[in-house]
Amino acid sequence: MNIVLMGCPGAGKGTQSVKLQQEFNLHHISTGDVLRAEIASGSVLGKQIAAIIDKGNLVPDEMIISMLENIIKSTTKGIVFDGFPRTVKQAEALDAMMRRLDRSITQVVMIDLPEKEVVTRICSRRQCKQCGEILHVDLSVPLSKCPACGGELYARPDDTPERARHRLDVYHQDTLPVKKYYQTGGKYVEVNGNQTPEKVFEDIQKSLK
């Protein structure tokens, strides 16, 4: 089973990918995490990537595509793709890569979220430095520790209202055409993302063929 999880910024792709990974023993590929790891390494490439991500723009297709092929090759497990493809060029490249490796995308799941929810959701998002848990906090109540493990919580630098709105514009322009690309292939389903994470996951499981 190779699943592409789509959705606008803040739709819950990261949370649902981890659930899919655990439930079906999949390999989780988050291109955002791959890029953040490169930034954390302090490399020259990482510095270039940080400048792009911090503005809320997409890194160039060629860069992300070349990073992906080796990661896909490194596993024989089924894969959940989180945050990739984000452009039609990436979707075409993914199909070609999977064909070369004698694999294919089994299903594309779009987590649908009303746009008025997006900026609020993104700005309330925090991630635990220790266990990686993603949660949404009540901004009126100070919360600095992860309720699951007590680790330190942080907000991503690109999770500000201004950048969230820009990322939404980029999503409209570059990523929504990917939805059309997949809609014609008979593997595309949509689930309502404006529910609890547990209910969204239940709907995703029901949608899997």
| Residues involved in catalysis | 13, 86, 125, 156, 167
CA gap 194, 175 in Å, rounded: 20
Q: Does the footprint of ligand AMP cover residue 91 (CB under 6 A)?
A: no
Selected range binding ligand AMP among 50-58, 69-77, 111-119, 146-154, rule: CB under 6 A: 50-58
Q: Which residues, numbered 134-163, are part of the site for ligand AMP (CB under 6 A)?
A: 158
Among 16, 126, 167, 182, binds ligand AMP (CB under 6 A): 167
Instruction: Report if residue 64 touches ligand AMP, rule: CB under 6 A.
Output: yes
- Residue among 86 and 126 whose Cβ is closer to ligand AMP: 86
Strand duo 153-154 + 125-128: pairing: antiparallel
64 or 191: CB nearest ligand AMP: 64
105, 187 contact by CB (below 8 A):
yes
Nearby residues of 100 by Cβ (< 8 Å), 6 or more positions away: none
Is residue 35 a contact point for ligand AMP (CB under 6 A)? yes
Give contact residues for ligand AMP (rule: CB under 6 A). 9, 31-32, 35, 52-53, 56-59, 64, 83-84, 86, 90, 158, 167
